[in-house]
Structure 1
Amino acid sequence: MSEKCEKCDGRGYNVVGTKKCPECKGEGKSKSVDLMKLSEKEVSNFLRNGSSCSKCKGKGELEMRDECMACSGKGAFYKCKVCGVAVDGLFNGEEVCPSCAKKQIVYKLDDSCDINEMDVGKLYHAVVRNIADFGVFVDLNSNMTGLIHSSNMKDKLEVGEAVIVNLKEIKQRGKMDLVPVKVKEYETIGLEKSLPVILTSELPNHVGRTLKVEGEIIQIKQTAGPTIFTIADETGQVSSAAFASAGERAYPEIESDMIVSAIGEITSRRDGIQLEIKGMKQLSGPREIDIRKRIESALDKRAEPHEIEFMVKSEVLEKLRPAMKEVAKVIRKAIITSTPILLRHHADADGMTAAVAIERAILPLIREVNGSDGEYHFYKRAPSKAPFYEVTDVVRDINYALEDVARHGQRMPLVVNVDNGSTLEDVPAMKQAQVYGIEMVVVDHHHPDAEVDQYLEAHVNPAHVGGDFGMTAGMLCTEVARMINPEVEAEIKHLPAVAAVGDRSEADEAKVYIDMVSDQYSLQDLKNIALALDFEAYWLKFNSGKGIIDDILNFGDTKIHKNLVKLLCEQANGMIGEQLEVCMSHVKSQELPNTAILNVLDVENYAHKFTFPAPGKTSGEVHDRICRKFEGKPIITIGYGPDFAVIRSKGVKMNIPVMVRELHDEIKGGGVNGGGHLVVGSIKFVEGMRSEVLSKLVEKVGSVDVE
């Protein structure tokens, strides 16, 4: 079988330059034309455009060519089947070089081969299947059996014994006359059925035909019957079934991410088509490299995000566009390659709207690629209680991922972190994920630390372009979702407004997002939705609560949405009221040197525990009430427990991440860490150092500038 010369791309020559066409002097037009020899159409074309020069075909110039030295101008050459060197042609009827032709060649038939691939007089590997009185049956591959007649037997053979046979004759109805031979030295050449390679996107046009598919194994699933391999090429993917025996793994040497060649029959199934594998093998060397390049190049094009106009005019969004497109591209590529997506988000209104925006965009695409039940195998959403990716989270994620790899042959997931993932607190979890080759992207608005970027494929954060936390994760993710799948815009249009209200954003963009949906949702409606999300997030703990969250965000029955939000807000406000009635009388206030009013509350001893609202929410509600009481004044509220402090502020120019680092360095043995936004955040420390940490914290907040 000849191979196209790569040096000249099969032309037999290389273009080394151009020269002016001597016939038309570079004009591309013929100087004289016999109109009597032209058809009516050609005459019409000539009168309109003139006649092209026949020598240069209208180009006005000719190529200057040199014969390709690699293939001697043939454009193709033979390769020795044994050693792979180039040969001028067939040697004794075989594609071998003279050196290898001196050795005996024994063919090993691929499972795809049948009698048509065999030639009389050639040698083949076989295995004894069973023994009868009249001869020995041998398997030439898993689909083809031949007989060694007893008249051709000299030595006794045992079941399971490997033997080399000579095909002496092909009789009527494909029966073979085989003769066992002993060969001291030989070269084995694999032989497979010569079939055209068909792209997966074209397979529906070839139902009933036997053909070849080349691509990457992206999933292996063992059923009670066959083994299901999912093979992807540059145009799509196909489910491929191989059967060894019931429940037994077929082709155990084939693993995920391998490049393979699979031969089989295309059959029609209720939910699409399937390749019934007759033979499959791993590809390596130049063929593997070429297929991987083709797949990667096609993936890059298919994964390109959609070009959109943002829903609001924003300098920050425009500066973030390249990073947002990169996140969208990574997510789209994961969907196309059937890489599971794990969507992690902070368990509050902003984090939930951010995650749901992405969720609504990707689920239709996941179902399109992996079938109607694809979302149950290739997608999971999980809230994080802390506003960062905790080690608790990553351990769960890795454990579930490894189980899916073992059970379903899936790849490790792409982790999409939204409303968390930008700070040093995320690094320990990211390091664990990196050990297992888990890729990660982040869309966040917490103050970022540069160290996290080495663990990320892409990172969107307004602070990278001079923005601040007012551009919330819900706003950012809604725009990213539109880049992934523009068709979801209408249903997720209100999510940025809910996020803005839930995170109390004062950004100009927030006001526009809120106004944009004012015909459907009043400001109070948005506040109620945000509160309902926070309330349910507390009770859901580590569960996604998909159905409930969808109803709160009005993705289902509008009547249920209104009744549910109303009920949840009544319950939440009732519990907030009870909490504040208890703790407000225990708030201690003082004026700081910078004129800010500091309010502190021991939430461990003077607030209900293990119920809604949690310490952070309680501190926020106390802060809001005090801000209304001292409207226009700079306010700082600290809610503290045995080993933590929650900080809320208004009208104060703080930088909590910087304060945390300073406290960590200044208080030896304090174990201080934490972070958040510039003026809203939390701090952790060891319980025995609480007095020192809180005293130093108060000293720092009392020295910052106020607005």
Structure 2
Amino acid sequence: MDWITHEEDVWFDFRGSTPDQLVSGRYYKGTVDGFADFGVFVDLSPGVTGLLHRSEVDRRLESLDWEPGDTVFVQVKNVRDNGNVDLAWSIRQSTREFRGAQIHDPEGDADGDPIDGSTEESDDEPSGPVKTTPAPRDDEALNGDDVAVDSASPDESADAAGATDDTPTTDAATTATDRDADGAPERVDVASLSDRVGETVRLDGEVVGIRQTSGPTVFELRDGTGAVDCAAFVEAGVRAYPDVEVGSIVRLDGEVEERYDELQVETEDLDILTDDEAATIEERLADALTAEARPDSVTTLIDHDAVDAVEESLRDAAETIRRAVLESRPVVVRHAATADGYVAGAAIERAVLPLIREEHAAADAEYHYFTRRPLEGSVYDMDDATNDVTRMLQDRDRHDEKLPLVLLVGTGSTVESSDGLGLLGIYGARRVVVDAEVADAAVADDCEAIVNPGLAGVDAADLSTGALAATLAATVGPDVAADLSHLPAVSYWDGAPQSALDLAAEAGYDADRTRELREAIALEAYYQSYEDKRELITDLLFDDAGGLAGHISEQFRQKLDTEVDTATANLDRREDGDVVVDVLDTDAYTHRFDFPPTGLLLDELHRRRSGDGTDLTVGVGTDELYLRSDDDLDLRGVASDAADRAPDAGIVAASVRDGRIEFLSGRRDAAVDAVVDAAVDRL
């Protein structure tokens, strides 16, 4: 039979070493490397890994019967400029479902050769992924062992690999010059390994990550000067040193090698240290981490008294973030799904990702160690905390990940979030809160650091959370400060400080461009607000010449103007003495499941109506209402006064930051009257 050349009919065995050698549109055989809440990582070759995002899978991730080491088939969708590989789902998960197989070997002579017998399989071949014990090639990137794993028995294969029982392979050719008088390798620092390629060395440090590949077990070891991957091989896909866990203090002997421009240690011996030896190393690591993590000063973007007032807490927060990266601890950013919240979250992301890339050699490290999860509101409640705890425990059990640092930006700063913060604390997750607006002193007891000017005794009415978070981000990563210079101006709907406007203008962002960015992000923040939209937000804020933001901004303006016009025509205007109140029935006169969200609509409505004499704007739903006023309105005080006026209406302050009060729907009219009267009395 003639060889089938149609690429959509065949699968390819990729034998290249870099992502840019892949061909988009082709189907490749791969090996499941691991899972994340956003998708599956698949190894296409020893040095190339792609991400099959959950949106590309035709079923729930939880229903996939895949395990690390399984052979699967995926389609290469795209290779990004940064080397990240986007994969697409293949409904064909068996070689018999393809019409042939072909070698893709861009660096060798076999490129384009068919794979004999690729479709001649038994009738009982499973239709799903097949668990395999693949033979590593001579160019194995993860362990470099010249070991052939063939059809021999497991015991015979282990013998051929130079290993017996559970003992990893060792290199008998270690030279005497690598060892001291007692025969032990010289103890060195990770930072010195680039000058020791080919030598056998001893490393003391903490295991901060463990990955089980289809070949070796890879331990990520940190010693205070840096981190390095150490591969230990027992048998393909078998866990080496099963007693070693993330957090173990160890002594490791092995040979330093360089694979695809990355250093790696081939493990010969690995011992868990205890008692005084472990305590000494832990103390040394802690001192080194503090010295490396704590910034000398705050990298200021805009001149503002409120920023100056929180300088020490900014340094504390920056140290906690940098320490998390150095400890290989995932960073989870929770921010409000608003323009200000997205600007704040994107600023932190811009600073942290380069640190992660510098710290970890793996191309997919930024997906493992950094996540942004927007919140619909400004309260970090038990539902949010339960979701985060569930995910972090799954990642700990499935990937041996450390418990994360949860960074709450523009949320979590009031006592309404105490239960959620407390749940994180029970499980040992670290917490940092950053909010330029309201905060309660009691929250400081629920987190490692809190950045809030009000708690420092300074009025920050004209400081946005986006501006504050951008300053924190610049302090975390001073090298990206120039990239962040326009963000403070973008985060303001109105009343931006002149220093923020001037800084943006110097960076080439005039008033029209910052407005377009703000509006574009606000629109995208609404749609699919449960996703982080990393690439889209990055394109808008950092890589857009104006076309994308302008296009989305036009949609924003059309939708918002239409909704504001509808709301204005249906306002119930009330006058109580000198106070003018506009009341909008948001259930009756807004599209509840379309843009804009209620909070943004009321913000815009009040901005436009306050010039016509409106002192208070009230949006009323089924069992909640929102208050908007130019005055500093004590929401908890209003809710308490209203509860006294209508004691059977269940009136409570639900979110101080959002201006939201809840009530019983059956007492809606009484609750609205009581809240309006209480608010008017306080204006």
What code does the residue aligned with 1:586 have?
N
Do 1:653 and 1:704's aligned partners in 2 also have CA atoms closer than 8 Å? no
1:431-510 pair list within 5 angstroms: 431-465=422-456, 466-501=458-493, 504-505=494-495, 510=497
The residue that corresponds to 1:414 in the other structure is: 405
Classify 1:505/1:435 alpha carbon distance in 2 versus 1 (closer, same or farther; 3 Å). Answer: farther
- Residues 538 and 492 of structure 1, relative CA distance in 2, 3 Å threshold: same
Local SS of the residue matching 2:616: strand
RMSD: 2.4
Alpha-carbon spacing, 1:461–1:211, altered in 2? closer, same or farther (3 Å): same
Match for residue 271 of structure 2?
281
2:633 to 649, 654, 675: 654
Q: What is the deviation of 1:619?
A: 1.9
Q: Among 564, 569, 576, which residue is 2:553 paired with?
A: 569
Residue identity matched to 2:522: D
On the 8 A contact 1:306/1:483 being kept in 2, the answer is no
For the Cα contact (< 8 Å) 1:639–1:647, is it kept in 2?
yes
The offset of 1:589, in angstroms, is: 0.9
Q: Is the 8 A contact 2:520 2:556 kept in 1?
A: yes
Q: 1:653 to 1:340 in 2, by over 3 A?
A: closer
Work out the percentage of aligned pairs sharing the same amino acid.
31
Structure 1 contact 349–499 (Cα < 8 Å) conserved: yes
Q: 1:556 is matched by which residue type in structure 2?
A: D
Match of 1:692 among 654, 670, 674: 670
Contact 2:208 2:221 in 1 (8 A): yes
1:641 matched residue in structure 2: 621
Q: How does 1:188-227 map to 2 (within 5 A)?
A: 194-227=184-217
Any idea what SS the aligned residue of 1:388 has?
coil
Equivalent pair of 1:532/1:565 in contact (CA under 8 Å): yes
For the residue of structure 2 that corresponds to 1:298, the secondary structure is helix
Question: What does residue range 378-393 of structure 1 map to in structure 2 within 5 Å?
Answer: 378-393=369-384
Q: Give secondary structure in 2 for the equivalent of 1:264.
A: strand
* Cα deviation, residue 254, structure 1: 1.1
CA deviation profile, 1:540-582 (whole Å, cap 9, x unmatched):
32111122212222x1141xxx222222222122222322332
Letter in 2 for 1:609: R
In structure 1, the gaps of 5 or more residues are: 1-128, 131-137, 145-191
Tell me how far apart the structure 1 counterparts of residues 453 and 667 of structure 2 sit (CA, whole Å): 35
Q: Distance in 2 between matches of 1:298 and 1:351?
A: 33
**TM-score, normalised by the number of residues in structure 1:** 0.68
- SS for the counterpart of 1:407 is helix
User: Which residue of 2 is the match for residue 294 of structure 1?
Assistant: 284
Give the deviation of 1:327 after TM superposition: 0.3
Residues 168-567 of structure 1: matches in 2 within 5 Å? 194-308=184-298, 310-371=300-361, 372-465=363-456, 466-501=458-493, 504-505=494-495, 510-518=497-505, 520-553=508-541, 555-558=542-545, 562-567=546-551
State the number of aligned residues.
508
**What residue in structure 2 maps to residue 604 of structure 1?**
587
SS at match of 2:411: coil
Checking the alignment, whether the CA contact within 8 Å between 2:353 and 2:366 is kept in structure 1 is: yes
Aligned to 1:18: none
1:582 and 2:566 correspond: yes
Q: 1:524 to 1:656 in 2, by over 3 A?
A: farther
Deviations along 1:278-314, one digit per CA (max 9) or x if unpaired, are 2212111111111000000010000011424523332
CA spacing shift, 1:406–1:580, aligned 2, 3 Å: same
Letter in 1 for 2:633: M
1:262 Cα deviation from its structure 2 partner: 1.2
Separation in 2, partners of 1:656, 1:414 = 31
Distance 1:582 1:318, change over 3 A: closer
Distance 1:339 1:139 in 2: 33
Would you say the 8 A contact 1:306–1:485 is kept in 2? no
1:387 Cα deviation from its structure 2 partner:
1.5
User: Where do residues 101-116 of structure 1 align in structure 2 (5 Å cutoff)?
Assistant: none
Q: Structure 1, residues 577-597: CA drift from partner, whole Å, max 9, x if none?
A: 32233222221112224x221
Shift of 1:682: 1.5
Closer, same or farther in 2 for the Cα pair 1:300/1:475, shift >3 Å? same
Q: Would you say the 8 A contact 2:649–2:668 is kept in 1?
A: no
Q: Which has the larger radius of gyration?
A: 1
State the 1:692 CA deviation. 3.3
Deviation at 1:333? 0.7
CA distance in 1, matches of 2:534, 2:397: 26
- Does the residue aligned with 1:518 lie in a helix, a strand or coil? helix
Shift of 1:611: 0.3
Distance 1:662 1:268, change over 3 A: farther
CA distance in 1, matches of 2:342, 2:356: 20
**Aligned in 2, Cα 1:369/1:141: closer, same or farther, shift over 3 Å?**
closer
Between the two structures, name the one with larger relative contact order (CA 8 Å, sep ≥ 6): 2
In structure 1, what is the Cα distance between the partners aligned to 2:167 and 2:563?
A: 76
Deviation at 1:339, TM superposition (A): 0.9
Gaps of 5+ in 2: 1-154, 157-163, 171-181
| Change over 3 Å in CA distance of 1:669–1:606 after alignment to 2 | closer
